[in-house]
Amino acid sequence: MPKTDSTSSIDSGGESTGPKTISNLLPTQKPEEKVTSRHTDQPRSIAVVAGMGFELAGTTVVLAGLGHLVDRYFGADRSIGFALGGLVGFGLGMLRFIMKALRQIEESNA
C-alpha cells in the first residue's frame, strides 16, 4: 500500500502552503554546501591579502635600500635618497596593492 504524505494540503484545487511548497521556493543548494564553499575560498583570500601586504612592504624596503645605497655612493650627509626611495617604493607598492584589490573585487562579483 502506498504511503500517504501527512503534510500534503487537504483541499485539492488550491495552492498548497505546506512545508513542501516552502521548500520548493528555497534555493536547491543545501546550507552545508554554502558553508563549505565559503570556507574553501577563505584561506585563498587570506593568502592573497597577506601576499599583497608583503609585496607592499617588500617594494618599500627594496627601493628605500636602493636609495640608501645611492646616498652612500655619493657620500651624502643627509638620507635624501633613502627617504625618496622609501616614498617612491611605498607609492608604487600601494598602486599595485590597489590594482590587485580591485581585481579581486571584480572576480568575486563575477
**pLDDT tens column, 21-69:** 555 555 555 555 554 555 555 677 788 888 999 999 999 999 999 999 9
Domain containing residue 73: 32-105
Residue carrying C-alpha cell 512545508 = 19
Cα separations (Å) of 53 from 29, 34, 78, 103?
A: 35, 29, 29, 15
Instruction: Assess if residue 43 is contained within a domain.
Output: yes
Asked if pLDDT for residue 71 goes beyond 90, the answer is yes
If one compares 87 and 77, the residue with the highest pLDDT of the two is 87
* Number of domains into which the chain is organized: 1
If one compares 58 and 8, the residue with the highest pLDDT of the two is 58
Instruction: Assess if residue 85 is contained within a domain.
Output: yes
Say which range, 26-30, 75-79, 88-92, has the weakest mean pLDDT.
26-30
Instruction: Assess if residue 1 is contained within a domain.
Output: no
Which pLDDT value is given to residue 14? 55
Instruction: Assess if residue 96 is contained within a domain.
Output: yes
